[in-house]
């Protein structure tokens, strides 16, 4: 294979959650540019998905793109996303479990049962249900399929600010290997583990303070730019990774933990709170 064909996605149908902004949007644009035949963009809010779908349809006419609402923390919404994809394309070659989030909390003792359950549902329950549905269908397809999970460096650099989120995403790391074994050999399942990226959420960051941490704990001494997730996504989505499954790829600039991976939205002593 040559550089022109190794990441080719011609005729591929892709479904991506959390696809309307940030890293998800970058992946959608890259998939279309690489020749994808169809993309289903899913997110909790319908309008941003439809706006991006229109943009992609205009830029890449070969890629039929639709936007649909889906709250992946809800089992039935996951079912509906699967049925929508099958109704529109009758198959899916690549599923990207990108939707996720880390809700704020003032301390560990202040984490409510509702917040705990919500965080696990969004970051683990949804990807499990979607992987189960799409993976089973991919097993019946002539060319199988690829599932791409999105984890976080917080799973290997634990911190109090992301305790619940990191625990849920740790489940994604396990799920990646479990799905790879459950649905192989026709289906590959891999995981991208990003570090800090300058997406929409970074607008709330104190960048000068963060930069001190990146200088000390990140080999490249900076956060990632959104488009820098694309190479990993194209690798796992394409035949370039045809002998890769159950893998977790760190895309974190060579991070080694420390303050460079702390969520800058938090302040205070996170383990303490009121009973």
Could you tell me the CA-to-CA distances from 57 to 14, 64, 257 in Å, in that order?
14, 6, 40
Beta bridge partner(s), residue 95:
15, 147
| Neighbouring C-beta atoms of residue 258, cutoff 10 Å | 14
List, edge to edge, every strand of the sheet that includes 187-194.
64-69, 38-43, 13-17, 94-97, 145-150, 187-194, 248-251
Longest CA–CA separation in the chain, Å = 61
Annotated catalytic, 105?
no
Could you tell me the CA-to-CA distances from 175 to 117, 151, 180, 213, 265 in Å, in that order?
18, 11, 8, 31, 28
Cis bond leading into 185, ω under 30°? yes
Pick the catalytic residue: 82, 105, 165, 183? Answer: 165
User: Looking at residue 219, what DSSP letter applies?
Assistant: T
Determine whether 194 is exposed, middle or buried from the number of CB atoms within 10 Å of its CB (0-12, 13-18, 19+): buried
Enzyme catalytic residues: 165
């Amino acid at each position: 294979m040559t550089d022109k064909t190794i990441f080719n996605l011609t005729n591929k149908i892709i479904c991506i959650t959390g696809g309307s902004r940030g890293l998800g949007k970058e992946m959608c644009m890259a998939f279309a540019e690489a020749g994808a035949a169809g993309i289903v963009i899913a997110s909790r809010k319908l309008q941003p998905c439809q706006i991006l779908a229109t943009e992609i349809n205009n830029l890449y006419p070969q890629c039929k793109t639709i936007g649909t609402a889906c709250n992946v923390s809800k089992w039935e919404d996951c079912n509906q996303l699967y049925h929508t994809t099958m109704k529109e394309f009758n198959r899916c070659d690549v599923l990207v479990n990108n939707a996720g989030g880390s809700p704020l909390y003032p301390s560990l003792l202040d984490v409510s049962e509702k917040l705990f359950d919500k965080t696990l549902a969004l970051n683990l329950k949804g990807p499990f249900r979607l992987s189960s549905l799409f993976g089973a269908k991919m097993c019946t397809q002539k060319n199988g399929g690829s599932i791409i999970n999105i984890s976080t460096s917080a799973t290997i650099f634990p911190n109090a600010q992301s305790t619940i989120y990191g625990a849920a995403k740790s489940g994604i790391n396990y799920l990646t290997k479990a799905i790879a074994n459950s649905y192989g050999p026709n289906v590959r399942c891999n995981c991208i583990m990003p570090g800090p990226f300058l997406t929409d959420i970074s607008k709330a960051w104190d960048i000068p303070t963060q930069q001190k941490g990146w200088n000390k704990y990140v080999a490249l001494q900076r956060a990632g730019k959104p488009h820098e997730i694309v190479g990993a996504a194209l690798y796992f989505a394409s035949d370039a990774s045809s002998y890769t499954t159950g893998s977790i790829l760190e895309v974190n600039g060579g991070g080694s933990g420390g303050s460079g991976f702390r969520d800058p939205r938090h302040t205070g002593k996170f383990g303490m709170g009121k009973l």
